[in-house]
Amino acid sequence: MRALLWTISALVLAVAPAAPARADMLKAGDAFPGWTLPDHTGKSVSSADLAGKTYLLWFYPKAMTPGCTAEGRGLRDRNAALTGLSLTIYGVSFDDPATNAEFVKQESFPFALLSDRDEALAPKVGAKMFGLPVPRRVSYLVGPDGKVLEAYDSVDPETHAAQVERDLRALEAQKK
Closest CA to 35 of 60, 55, 62, 64: 55
HSE of 94, CA atoms in CB hemisphere, 13 A: 18
Give the Cα separation of 55 and 140 in Å (integer): 8
Nearest to 74 by CA among 62, 89, 86, 95: 89
Q: Which of 26, 45, 56, 68 is flagged as catalytic?
A: 68
Instruction: Clarify whether 68 is annotated catalytic.
Output: yes
For residues 113 and 40, is the Cβ–Cβ distance under 8 A?
Answer: yes
- For 65, the 3-state DSSP assignment is coil
Phi, psi of 102 (to 5 degrees): -65, -40
Return the SS3 of 16.
Answer: coil
CB half-sphere exposure, 33, CA atoms < 13 A: 13
d(CA 151, CA 153): 6
Name the residues annotated as catalytic: 68
